[in-house]
Amino acid sequence: MLRACLDLLDAESAPVLQDYPEDVPPELASVDFTGMSCPIELPPPSSEGHGVAQELLLEIRQVAPWYELAVNQRGRTTVGISDLNMEQAGRFLAGFIEDETTPAPRTDMTMGRLLKFVCEDLKAYYSEAASAQPGMSASIAVEHWLFNETVLGGLLWQLRNTRTEHEDDETRYFARRSLIPDRQIQYRGAKVYHS
């Protein structure tokens, strides 16, 4: 096949459309290519006046096929601690960042704990989705993509930057200690909080 492809470079004129006279080998004919596609490339946040919640919800929908592929391949997921679907979690996170009086979708736990669970679910959802993409097998590559190339990552940084001195102990501790990994904080040159 490669030789036939290279022979096209000797064509007198272009474009060239030529049939390749061989069929798919029988052992590959039964391979299921469902769900195979090019790696997801998330567009940057638009400047068309969409709210951050809409940007996040769009991104969550774009990540969904990769998340489903990852779950199908592994047969498991770590998403689910918040007991919310990802769109509910995204709406709550974006709403909370804009206005802390945003109603909580669950009333059986403190706001700080719910916020932590929502963020952990969203991070797991994105990380599992990214790990199913070609070339994203290294955890540092997945982590760097999540925190530096996504709308969610931007919101997590915003949450950290605005809540490290929060009056609520749980929210403050979460923002300082477990929201963003230390190596990402150091990569950005931000302050790392120690005991």
SS3 content of the chain, % helix, strand, coil (to 5): 55, 0, 45
Spatial contact of 129 and 66, defined as CB atoms under 8 Å apart = yes
Output the pLDDT for position 33.
44
The pLDDT score that the predictor gives to residue 82 is: 96
E-assigned strand segments in the chain? none
Residue 8: count of CB within 10 angstroms of its CB: 12
User: Average pLDDT by consecutive 10-residue portion of the chain (195 residues)?
Assistant: 76 71 56 48 56 92 94 94 97 93 92 94 95 80 91 94 86 87 82 62
What's the confidence (pLDDT) of residue 37?
45
Nearest CA to 21 out of 9, 45, 36, 3 is that of 3
Identify the pLDDT of residue 151.
95
Give pLDDT, residue 95: 93
**pLDDT computed for residue 45 by the predictor:** 55
* Domain boundary assignment for the chain: 51-188
Residues 62-105: pLDDT tens digits? 999 999 999 999 999 999 999 999 999 999 999 999 998 999 99
- C-alpha 90/C-alpha 38 separation (Å) is 25
